[in-house]
Structure formats: structure tokens, C-alpha cells
Structure 1
């Protein structure tokens, strides 16, 4: 007899532990903050098997990590903390955070998560339901709603932008009207109902293609039905329907890049559109592989190359070694009309310096500076090679400047 009782106790748990979902914990009234001394009811909704037991235990209750003595489907509590429940063979439920306040004013928010498209209701409550006047609601420190007397802050269809830290303020008659009082801030998060859809293309026989609009619902809202619509540019090619696929006509199969889709709830409270389709290759269906690489830029003509690709001008720093031809040495000479070390003909200005000074002034100034520096260095080398004959006469005036140290105009006249 004992063996049969043990089998009845263990078999249901071992047979259903994997298949059962975690129970749902609800709060009545549905607010996470209460005043000190108040009580609320917690209810655990889940699988409760009918098992023949000597001491039937259908529900376990936890406050933090502490196991509570109650085993019913609902309990009344007034202690702040994190509550969870567990039914036989199922995992532990999601937590519910209960706060207890001793302030004059509290902001009450829903215990259950709020998703996109669902109503969001906040309640600013005075101490033991005393009337609140000149009521303000704030989100992230900015006033969003004002009421002359107590009223709830409600958003019929919440959006992600409604998330934030909320707070309320108001006055109460105690017995005369008090100064404005503020509640403690409470964080509110509007969760995403489903992700933005992704449009994918697949081959469907020769010359055809199928577009699939893919998205994913939040695990807590997996039962919410979604509808899908398909568009080409701004024209609807298939209006909202339950099917998430659309067969592209063969005549439009070469324009898949112009399609996109939209996913929405049946009431259209939440609508999200996709980006352009993700194609396995631009050749779907039928384009060549070369077209998938996209158009290539035409090569630039030599005269049309950007300035960054042209040969850089000579550096302004003096070279470590300078090789200058002797005055009597025979060797290659610079072409007439161009100074040694000047820039190549491709970079030389095609117009006189005076006419190009406005457009090429920085380049011309740099080129002149290089010519002056090179000329001075060449003059020093030539004087050094001439020896004592190049030295100035003892009676020469000391105030006369050296040929290479004069102004650009004087140096050019002397040469």
C-alpha cells in the first residue's frame, strides 16, 4: 500500500515537470506600491493536478528565498519584498515586487509588464485615499499632465517612448491646503511586442520568387495574432492578411529590391515596417554575378585626377646631400626656361604667375620658396669650389649683403 501511494505522489511530478509552463502570479488590486498597514491579495494561476496525497500541497509561495507556510492558490500579504509561486511539476513564476510606503503621496504603477499597444495607467494616491489637488504627473523630470483634482494618468496605446521614470506631485487639505508634495519616482518600461520584420526572398521555380515577412513575438505575448502587408515602392501589392508570404509575379521578379513588408496587430495598434529585402544575391532571380557587384566607376583621365593623386610638391626641409654640377662640368642641363629642381611640367602652372595667383597661390608660394632655398644652397657650393678667389676683397664694404642672402628680387637680378 505504501508503494502505491509513493507512485501516485511521484509519477505526476516526474511525468509533467518538463511539459508544464510556469504559473502566472497576479496582484489584486493591481498596484505594486501600497501604504503601510494595507493588504493585497496574490493569486497563482497554473497547473494544479488532482493527486491522491496524504497531505495535498498544490502551491508553494516564496518571499525572496523564504518558503511561506501557505499552500493555497491565493494569499494576503502586507510585507514588502519579491514574491513568487510554484505549482506542482512547474517552474517558479515570474516575480512580483511589492513596496510599502509611509509617505503622504505614492505613485502606483501596474505590477504586470506593459507592452506596445496596450493601455498604460498610473495612479497618484494620497494617504489613505485623501483627495489630491493641483495634480502633476512627470516623466524623467518633465511635466506631462496636469489635473485640477485627483485623476489617473493613462495612455490608451503605449509606445516605447512612454518608458521612463514617473513621479507625481499635488496638495492635500490637512486640514488646510498643504504645500506641494512629491511621490517617490518609479521606473516604467514599455516592452516591445514584436521585433521589426525582416523581408527575405526565396526562389520559387524558374523566373519566380517568394517574399517572406519574418518577425518574432515576445515570449509573453506569443498568442497575439499578427497580420502582414506587402508593398512595392509606395503601392500596396497585397493588403493586410494572416499569411506572412507573398508570391511575386514573374513580370516583377526583377524588381525585388523595390519591395518591403509591414507587420501589425489585428487592431493596427502596433505597426512596424521592414527594411529592403535581404536577397541571397542581387542575381535573384536571373541577374549575372557581375551585376551583383554594382556599377563600377569610370577611370579618370590624366587631366581629371584629383589633387590628392598628383605628384606632391618638393618638401620644404633641406636635403641631407645636394649634388650640384660644377660650372665647368659637362652633363645634362636643365631645359631652357626652367630652373633646376623646378616641378615637372605636369605640375607647373600653365598661365603666368600673376593670372594664377588667386587659384594656385599656396602652391606657387611653396614652389618659389623651394627655388629660393635651392638657389642659395647652389650658390654656397659654387663659392666653396672656387676657393679664395670667391672671397670678397678686404676693402669691400662690410654692409653689403651676400648674393644669396638678399631679397628674392635682388637675387633674381644678380643671377
Structure 2
């Protein structure tokens, strides 16, 4: 019985917390730092109680105290009796003139990030530059820390520093080794979901829940939630992660989204859109996004043109083609070959009429040209009969015999 209770107690125990003092993962050669293991230490009746175990890599160290001093580079872990092994701390030892020191513990979103560029055994660094991914982020005249008050995921990257030392005169610019800094995610981006509840509880409306998850090491961090309808807030930040849409607003298509944030608003994340299909709405999302059909009026095939309902032209402004033509026009039109036209098609009466009108207009133009030519020939004949010498002289050609048509007895002979 007691053994079972002990096993359950050990299964629910948390990892011990391993800390570093001072809190920098890189030190100069010859320096020493202190490691401390804080966790559950059971009271066991033993002659030589062993409360803490220390590991350097896979090597078990001889010390069993809660804190030890080390100067050897490597990965350190600790373990209290019966508890899991702690998270590791990687300690680096450098022999360079400049080292870039970053915190040993994980830095989460919204927390302060401090980076330190340190000269050999605390010598002052002049003309100090801090770099991130090869770009200059900050410049100082002398030694100073680079601080980001509220770190974000975008602050992760490769950091480096450069500067000069006076040993004893000012040296050329020196560069530290690059250090990787990773900003941990405090909580995941929220997702807005519909919660299915009995109508007696929800009052007939739709209940929405803003769901997210905190990092295991930060599961005690309080979060607040806000809900929005399009860009208008329907409930501002408070501790509730659920919002009930009133029944009067569920009849139409509506889009909602939520936002999760820390109490200090140092970290804020929003969810994707959630579109609600209303109960009384006859349309759906698919019907809204479906493209409208192409109207028949823009079809390229002239045969399939729709019927035109435009007002017919005024007969006074357009010459009538049904007036009685003269006999010459009638004979000309009768002698012209007929142009074949397509057979009648359904719902295309105006198309056949347009083609017939176009053919008749072409015949009329041809007939008018022939009439103009005939008129000119008749005028020339009359002029030659009246004054033949004048007409021949204007032409500039030798005179030719003219037949005696009996018009005038005084016409000279050639």
C-alpha cells in the first residue's frame, strides 16, 4: 500500500530547477560559476542521505550538495531523489578577447532579453556594435548591455558583438563568436470554435470559445480574451474564454475572431476568421463565392444574339425602302442575282432583317453609281451633238468624221 502511494507521488513530481550564477552560458577560461539544484528533497532515514545527483554529460559527479562550483565546459544536469532529471544547461568556456553572453534560461515572448558583450576579464569595450543575423542592431561608445524590453519571436537569430580594447593602446576591431538566441513561444495562436451546448443554457444563441495552450513551463500565466465581429469588438478583454452570440444576430452570415493576450498586453495573438452561417439565411458561403454566369449579351456568336428591345428608328429620319421605285430601278433590282440568306432560326428575327437590309443597301449603292455613269455619258453625247468642234478641241485629240444624224443642215463635213 505504502509502495503504491510512493510510486504515485514520484510520478506526479516535477523536474528540479537548475540555475546558473552569474546567469551567463559563456565564461572566460579560468573563471568559475555556481550551479544550484532546487527541487523536492525527501527526508529519508539513512546514515548518509543522498539528496542531489549531478551529471556532466553522462558522467556522475561526486558531489551531492544542492550547489556546486564548476569551470569545465559541457552539459550539466541535476536530479533529486526519485524525481526526473532537470533540464540541461550548456556551459561554454572561451579564450577570446571578446565573448557574447546570453541568459542560460529560456526567454519567452513578452519577457526581457539582455545580451552582454564582455571584454577579457572585464576590460572596457569601446566602439561597441551589436549584430543580429549580420545586421547592426545597436551602437554604444563603451561597454553596455543590449536590452530588449519585450522580446518577440522575431527577435530570435544569431547574435554577435564587436569592439576595440586598450591593451595598452586601442586595438583594431575584434569580433566575438556568434551565439544563437531563441525566443520561446508563450502560448499558441488561438483558434475560435463553436461550442455545442443545449439551447436552455445558451439561450438560443451560438457559443464561441477562444482556445489556446500555454507552454508547460508557463502554464500558470494568466490570459485574457477579447471577441470581435468583423472589426468591431463585441466583448473587450476579460477572463472569460467564451462568448455567446445573441440569437438575434445568428440569422445572417457573420464573421467573428478572438484575441488572447497577457495581462500587461506584452503578447497579443489573434485567431483566424470564423464565419457563422445563419439559421434563417437562404444563402450559404458557397453561393456567395460562386462566380455569376456569363450573360448571353456578351457572346461573340452573332447568330446567338438576344432579341433587341430598343425603340425602332423614326421613319422620318431614315429613307423608306418600301416607296414605289421607278421603272429603271425596278428592272435593275430584278436583274441582280439574289443573295442567299440563312434559313430562319428560332428567336433571331432581327438578325435576318439586318442581313437583308445590308444586302439591299449594297445593291442601291451599286445602282446609284451606274446611274451617275450613265448620266455623264448622256451629257457628253448631247454636248458633242451641239458643239462637236469645241468638244473635240477640249479633248486635245484629232478630229474624226461625224455621222450625219440630221440634227442641223449646216453641219460642216470633214
1:39 aligned residue: 32
C-alpha separation in 2, matches of 1:36 and 1:263: 46
1:218 to 215, 230, 254: 215
Q: Tell me how far 1:292 sits from its aligned partner.
A: 4.9
Asked if residue 106 in structure 1 is aligned to residue 99 in structure 2, the reply is: yes
What is the DSSP-based 3-state SS (H/G/I as helix, E as strand, rest coil) of the residue aligned with 1:149? coil
2:206 aligned residue: 209
CA distance change for structure 1 residues 238 and 149 in 2, over 3 Å: closer, same or farther? same
What is the DSSP-based 3-state SS (H/G/I as helix, E as strand, rest coil) of the residue aligned with 1:93? coil
2:61 aligned residue: 68
C-alpha separation in 1, matches of 2:4 and 2:296: 86
CA distance change for structure 1 residues 292 and 162 in 2, over 3 Å: closer, same or farther? closer
What is the DSSP-based 3-state SS (H/G/I as helix, E as strand, rest coil) of the residue aligned with 1:258? strand
What is the DSSP-based 3-state SS (H/G/I as helix, E as strand, rest coil) of the residue aligned with 1:196? coil
1:372 aligned residue: none
1:14 to 1, 7, 26: 7
CA distance change for structure 1 residues 298 and 104 in 2, over 3 Å: closer, same or farther? closer
CA contact (8 A) 2:256 2:275 kept: no
1:136 to 126, 129, 132: 129
C-alpha separation in 1, matches of 2:27 and 2:300: 72
Q: Tell me how far 1:336 sits from its aligned partner.
A: 6.6
TM-score by length of 1: 0.68
C-alpha separation in 2, matches of 1:304 and 1:221: 63
Asked if residue 188 in structure 1 is aligned to residue 185 in structure 2, the reply is: no
Q: Tell me how far 1:71 sits from its aligned partner.
A: 0.9
* Cα distance per residue 1:388-408 (max 9 Å; x no partner): xxxxxxxxxxxxxxxxxxxxx
Asked if residue 253 in structure 1 is aligned to residue 246 in structure 2, the reply is: no
C-alpha separation in 2, matches of 1:25 and 1:227: 31
- 1:150-299 residue pairs with structure 2 within 5 A? 150-204=143-197, 205=199, 207-254=204-251, 257-277=254-274, 282=277, 285-287=279-281, 291-295=284-288, 296-299=290-293
What is the DSSP-based 3-state SS (H/G/I as helix, E as strand, rest coil) of the residue aligned with 2:254? helix
Count of residue correspondences: 303
4+ residue runs over 6 A deviation? 335-338
CA contact (8 A) 2:26 2:92 kept: yes
C-alpha separation in 2, matches of 1:278 and 1:56: 62
2:23 aligned residue: 30
C-alpha separation in 2, matches of 1:226 and 1:306: 61
C-alpha separation in 2, matches of 1:302 and 1:19: 73
1:412 aligned residue: none
Q: Tell me how far 1:253 sits from its aligned partner.
A: 2.2
What is the DSSP-based 3-state SS (H/G/I as helix, E as strand, rest coil) of the residue aligned with 1:94? coil
C-alpha separation in 1, matches of 2:105 and 2:148: 16
TM-score by length of 2: 0.68
Q: Tell me how far 1:55 sits from its aligned partner.
A: 2.1
What is the DSSP-based 3-state SS (H/G/I as helix, E as strand, rest coil) of the residue aligned with 1:55? coil
What is the DSSP-based 3-state SS (H/G/I as helix, E as strand, rest coil) of the residue aligned with 1:62? strand
CA distance change for structure 1 residues 286 and 62 in 2, over 3 Å: closer, same or farther? farther
What is the DSSP-based 3-state SS (H/G/I as helix, E as strand, rest coil) of the residue aligned with 2:48? coil
What is the DSSP-based 3-state SS (H/G/I as helix, E as strand, rest coil) of the residue aligned with 2:121? helix
Q: Tell me how far 1:297 sits from its aligned partner.
A: 3.8
C-alpha separation in 2, matches of 1:17 and 1:305: 79
C-alpha separation in 1, matches of 2:192 and 2:247: 18
C-alpha separation in 2, matches of 1:75 and 1:40: 8
Asked if residue 149 in structure 1 is aligned to residue 142 in structure 2, the reply is: yes
* Cα distance per residue 1:173-222 (max 9 Å; x no partner): 10111111110000001111111111112345274111111111111111
CA distance change for structure 1 residues 256 and 240 in 2, over 3 Å: closer, same or farther? farther
C-alpha separation in 1, matches of 2:227 and 2:252: 14
CA distance change for structure 1 residues 302 and 224 in 2, over 3 Å: closer, same or farther? same
Q: Tell me how far 1:14 sits from its aligned partner.
A: 3.2
Q: Tell me how far 1:231 sits from its aligned partner.
A: 1.5
Query: Which segment drifts farther, 150-159 or 50-59?
Result: 50-59
CA distance change for structure 1 residues 298 and 129 in 2, over 3 Å: closer, same or farther? closer
